[in-house]
Amino acid sequence: MSPWVRSVRAALGRAYPRLVGSNRDRAWLFYDTVLPLLGSVALVYVYRSLGAPDHLVAYAIMGGAAMAFWMNVLWSMAAQFYWDKMAGNLELYMVVPCGLVPILLGMSLGGAVATLLRAGLIVAAGSLLFGVSLPVRDLGLFLAVFAVALVALYGLGVTFASAFLLWGREAWHTANLFMEPVFLLSGFYFPVRALGFWTAAAASLIPLTLALDALRQLMFGPLHPAFLPVHVELWLLVGLAAAFALAARASLRRMEHLARREGRLSLRF
Amino acid sequence: MRTAWRTLRTAFWLGWQVESNWTDPLLFALYQVVRPLGGLLILLFMVRAAAGPAAGPALGFLVVGTAFWPAVVAGMQGMAWAVVGDREHWRTLRYVYTAPVSFRAYLVGRALALVASASAAVAVTLLFGWAVLGVPLRLELGELPYFLCAWATGVTGVLALGLATAAGVLCVSGEAWRMPEAVGAALYLVSGALFPVTVLPEPLRQVASALPVSWWLEALRRVWLPENSPQSFPWASDLQVLATLAVLVAAFAACGLLAFGLSERRARQLGILDRETGF
């Protein structure tokens, strides 16, 4: 079997439990959808209590969908090797002939598609509950931004995964640390331009920052205070996707080597 | 009683170690305050997006709610997490459970360790709100007894909620990790942590009125904020708020203990008390 075929099969094999297994257990679907939705609903009520216009309410709902993707990337990509270490799977991954990259690709593919379903449910439920419409002005560009953002986001997840490979108990806390600060810097619930140009520019290293800003421009037009023009943000996202792909590959090799040398691959606590 | 107190103290120490000794103290302190401050800043930018720079009294409401919320999460989720963590992660539940100590006291000690670690976040968030955001926070000497009484009663209420959640976790295996989070998220929505419960639709407002957390946050706001601030229960006097909180806490404590006892017995009957799911 050629290495390419083996890699593709390994990736599809790793994507399977994410695509099928995660939907087989209805409780997972419930928690993955309802938890971000509850947070968003709370923030919608904050906007409502302040008499905010409808497009800000839509921001909170979109923030819930973005949160589902970020949590998937953080807990099921970045920290996944930590879980695998705990369950004893990591040693198995290390000895399989395909290597770690196809396994991570499979995780990304399965995670992205499964989370897409959950994010769709969050947006649908949120907009139905609060009667908010989410118009899309340029569907082609909208889909392009969304697709490229997903590639960049999961590229970041793979890069993180290699860093988490070294960590034991601190992996859990580190993942926790990337929650609210990222929601803040990426402008999950408000226009990122409010942070100021340079802070927003630095926060653009997280693909969701540019993606949310571009998608909001395509949905709300002049109502949304844009950070950068949509086309610029799209090209920046393409750059981020490429950079994270390269960084992930290099970082994975380096961290795997370090983890083997320092004997941390099976270090659980 | 002495054994229970010793168990509680030891569990508190253990909980503190589990929470804090994964890194150096400075990084731990930073870790404790970064998330709540991040949450507060999100709300600040949301308020500015909706109401402009002059946010008014709404900001004070948010600051106090955000400041004290980590204590709610720590107390409620801490107890349930102690069960799940000991069972699934550390795999020590069977040894703790069979030791000649009070299991309830052990769980209370573990949860109180988290409440203590959340206190730094409470203090820093209040300080940030007052010094940086200019929220007119105050704690007058005359109101100190009210505050201490509300704080102690509220923490008891949060522990009672934690006991009820832990009761559920004892009989659930696969999704036990998510249950405390779900309860926390639901409370975040209905307890008036971020907005007055008067904003909620009527059925949710009724739920909020029956929760000790809503009254606890209301009592704390009455101490820390000026009188013209928004309130969740504007019709109630300060004493009524405290009395309602006490009654609800007593009811939740009784229900929590009952639920935990029933759940513990059922888990033992089914032999699932220490069942691991290979997370």
HEC assignment per residue over chain B: CHHHHHHHHHHHHHHHHHHHCCCCHHHHHHHHHHHHHHHHHHHHHHHHHHHCCCCCHHHHHHHHHHHHHHHHHHHHHHHHHHHHHHHHHCCCHHHHHHCCCCHHHHHHHHHHHHHHHHHHHHHHHHHHHHHCCCCCCCCCHHHHHHHHHHHHHHHHHHHHHHHHHHHHHHCCCCCCCCHHHHHHHHHHHHCCCCCCHHHCCHHHHHHHHCCHHHHHHHHHHHHHCCCCCCCCCCCCCHHHHHHHHHHHHHHHHHHHHHHHHHHHHHHHHHCCCCCCCCC
Report the gap between the CA of B200 and the closest CA in chain A (Å).
Answer: 8
Backbone conformation region of residue B231, classed left if phi is above 0, alpha if psi is from -120 to 50, else beta: beta
What is the count of residue pairs from A and B with beta carbons less than 8 Å apart?
Answer: 115
Q: Is A39 on the interface with B (CB under 8 A)?
A: yes
For A61-85, how does the pLDDT look when each residue is reduced to its tens digit (9 = 90+)? 999 999 999 999 988 888 888 888 7
Query: How many angstroms separate the CA atoms of A42 and B196, rounded?
Result: 11
Taking CA–CA distances from A40, the nearest residue in chain B reads: B189
Mean predicted lDDT score pLDDT of chain A: 88
**What local confidence, expressed as pLDDT, does residue A268 receive?**
58
Amino acid A172: pLDDT: 75
A184 close to B (CB below 8 A): yes
DSSP A18: I
Please, which residues 182-221 of chain B have a Cβ atom closer than 8 Å to chain A?
182, 185-186, 188-189, 193-196, 199-200
Which residues 6+ apart lie within 8 Å of B119 measured at CB? B71
pLDDT of residue B223: 95
Helix, coil or strand: residue A47:
helix
Percent of chain A scoring above 90 in pLDDT: 50
Q: What is the pLDDT of residues A154-189, one digit of tens each?
A: 999 988 887 777 666 677 778 888 999 999 999 999
Is the CB of residue B24 less than 8 Å away from at least one CB of chain A? no
Q: Residue A269 above 60 pLDDT?
A: no
Instruction: In whole angstroms, give the CA distance from residue A198 to residue A193.
Output: 9
Residue bearing the bigger pLDDT, A249 or B63 = B63
Closest to A180 (Cβ–Cβ): which among B22, B38, B196?
B38
In tens, the pLDDT along A193-236 reads 999 999 999 999 999 999 999 999 999 999 999 999 999 999 99
Largest CA distance in chain B: 59
B54 at A interface, C-beta within 8 A: no
Regarding predicted confidence, which is higher, A4 or A201? Answer: A201
Q: Which residue has the higher pLDDT, A31 or A5?
A: A5
Predicted confidence at residue B105, as pLDDT, reads 94
pLDDT at A267 (0 to 100): 60
Chain A residues with CB-CB distance to B89 below 8 A: 86
Q: CA of A5 to nearest chain B CA: how many angstroms apart? A: 31
Q: Is the pTM of the predicted complex or chain greater than 0.90?
A: no
Q: In tens digits, what is the pLDDT along chain B, a chain of 279 residues?
A: 788 899 999 999 999 998 888 778 888 888 888 888 999 999 999 999 988 766 678 889 999 999 999 999 999 988 998 998 888 888 889 999 999 999 999 999 999 999 998 988 899 999 999 999 889 998 888 899 999 999 999 999 999 999 999 999 888 866 677 888 888 989 999 999 999 999 999 999 999 999 999 999 999 999 999 988 899 999 999 999 999 999 999 999 999 999 999 999 999 999 888 887 765
| Domain coordinates in residue numbering, chain B | 2-270
